[in-house]
Structure 1
Amino acid sequence: MEFFKYVKQEIAVIKDRDPAIKSTMEVFLYPSFHAILKYRKAHKLYLKKHYYRARRISQKTARKTGIEIHPGAQIGEGLFIDHGHGVVIGETAIIGDNVTLYQGVTLGGTGKESGKRHPTVGNNVLIGAGAKVLGSFTIGDNCKIGAGSVVLENVPPNSTVVGVPGKIVIQNDVRVNDDLDQVHLPDPVQTEMDDLKSENARLRVRLDKLEKALESVKNP
């Protein structure tokens, strides 16, 4: 019964979040569908301390789907992994409800910690393609992590993070979980460049005025 509940739920999630899907049967072709199903099975074994059997399932699934989910991870309902190849979710990662991950996302550790080593991701979070979230900190509810970002510290709820290392560029009380555009995000590097160009232009004008004033003093 639980299997059919999962299938029904996953069909609804994929059809809602992937505009490319044309029929319900396509859901069964999605790598994420099989990866998450196998994770649920492996996680039950992990909780019963059947660690080898759990890891065997997860590693076989990783080879088949390109999605590696450690059976020790805690994952809520409504996880959607789009395309999915290269996604890695670590052992102590915790993922809330209605989370979207794109290809190449890593929820990993830094290699310097013990115990809780991987991030906690809140509800209604989107993490863009290739983003790396590394460490035992928390991504708050309703956050967006831009494609290619590297996040190394806590992110408060209702925030948008981009860049390497990741910087918060939007933070307010507006829910962002329905906005699945991972491309059109603010660019903090370009903003810095624009500020530098403006400052350089102001300094040039000031220098020109000083040079003219000095010239007038020398040649009254």
Structure 2
Amino acid sequence: MLGDLVRYLDSVVARDPAPRSRWEVLLYPGAWALFFHKIAHRLFKARLFFLARAVNHFSRFLTAIDIHPGARIGKNFFIDHGFTVIGETAEIGDNVTIYQCVTLGGSNPTNGVGGKRHPTLLDDVIVGSGAQIIGPVTVGRRARIGASAVVTENVPEGATMIGVKARSTLVSAETYARQFMPYGTPCKEPCEPAPNQRVDELEEQIALLRSEIDALKAAREDVRADEPVVKGI
């Protein structure tokens, strides 16, 4: 058990440059939220739902992180900062990183049956601050969800999703950024050249319209020059 704790603390230090030692990680609200969730989840599996909820509410009061006792979480899960909500049927793989103010929320079961309502995050996923992942979608391995993105559909393996509604960037995900990427979004180089490309297209269209207008003006001047001049009017 001590070895598992050391490995977890080391995994957090590897992803967060802020702590100077393992001891600092022990003060992180995300570490405490995960500790209380392990207790609440065992109570939930034993069908001691009230006790599980009591532990969950105490943890939320202490850490500002709300993890439903029914959520299933893998190894080395790291919540950086807090104010995160994780729903009952959410499933989280190994080495997943979530930043502050993230919601793994549920969709409305229109058939009246609860079932699988919350997202599944596979191994090595990174979710940026403020992102909302809604419904029983699957986020593929090594995918990155950018800050404030809203995800309502499945995310391919290795994709970087940005925007509302979230869409994949044009970065080749299969070979790009296989290592851990802080905050889930690349910053050193443009990850979405589409806006610049659109501006270029608009400028080309404006130039074409200007040339057509100039041609029409020139043709009109030629017609006026060819008209006979009637004297006495």
When structure 1 is superposed on structure 2, of 202-211 and 128-137 the one drifting more is 202-211
Distance 1:21 1:127, change over 3 A: same
Report deviation, 1:183: 4.7
Query: Residue 19 in 1 paired to residue 21 in 2?
Result: no
Local SS of the residue matching 2:26 = helix
Distance 1:121 1:108, change over 3 A: same
Distance 1:21 1:130, change over 3 A: same
Q: Which residue identity does 1:166 align to in structure 2?
A: A
| Residues 40-90 of structure 1, C-alpha deviations (whole Å, 9 max, x = no match) | 111111111011101110111001101111110000001011112x11110
Report deviation, 1:209: 1.5
Who is 1:146 aligned against? 146
Q: Which residue identity does 2:213 align to in structure 1?
A: E
How far apart are the structure 1 equivalents of 2:27 and 2:40?
Answer: 20
Q: Which residue identity does 1:160 align to in structure 2?
A: T
Who is 1:164 aligned against? 164
How far apart are the structure 2 equivalents of 1:11 and 1:196?
Answer: 46
Report deviation, 1:181: 4.4
Who is 2:91 aligned against? 94
Local SS of the residue matching 2:218 = helix
Local SS of the residue matching 1:78 = coil
Who is 1:73 aligned against? 71
Please tell me whether Structure 1 or Structure 2 has the larger radius of gyration of its CA atoms.
Answer: 2
Contact 2:144/2:185 (8 A) holds in 1? no
Local SS of the residue matching 2:180 = coil
TM-score (norm 1): 0.90
How far apart are the structure 2 equivalents of 1:121 and 1:33?
Answer: 19
Who is 2:194 aligned against? 191
When structure 1 is superposed on structure 2, of 167-176 and 117-126 the one drifting more is 167-176
Distance 1:118 1:181, change over 3 A: closer
Q: Which residue identity does 1:102 align to in structure 2?
A: Y
Q: Which residue identity does 2:139 align to in structure 1?
A: I
Contact 1:39/1:69 (8 A) holds in 2? yes
1:43 to 17, 41, 44: 41
When structure 1 is superposed on structure 2, of 111-120 and 157-166 the one drifting more is 111-120
| Residues 135-163 of structure 1, C-alpha deviations (whole Å, 9 max, x = no match) | 00100001000011000000010111000
1:207 to 200, 209, 212: 209
Q: Give the number of equivalent residue pairs.
A: 215
Q: Which residue identity does 1:62 align to in structure 2?
A: R
Local SS of the residue matching 2:116 = coil
Local SS of the residue matching 1:154 = coil
RMSD: 1.8
Local SS of the residue matching 1:8 = helix
Who is 1:52 aligned against? 50
When structure 1 is superposed on structure 2, of 90-99 and 16-25 the one drifting more is 16-25
Moved over 4 A (4+): 185-188
Contact 1:125/1:177 (8 A) holds in 2? no
- Structure 1 unaligned runs (5+)? none
How far apart are the structure 1 equivalents of 2:173 and 2:205?
Answer: 35
Local SS of the residue matching 1:38 = helix
Report deviation, 1:187: 6.0
Q: Which residue identity does 2:220 align to in structure 1?
A: K
Report deviation, 1:171: 4.4
Contact 1:162/1:187 (8 A) holds in 2? no
How far apart are the structure 2 equivalents of 1:59 and 1:119?
Answer: 22
Q: Which residue identity does 1:163 align to in structure 2?
A: G
Contact 2:131/2:150 (8 A) holds in 1? yes
Local SS of the residue matching 1:219 = helix
2:104 to 78, 89, 107: 107
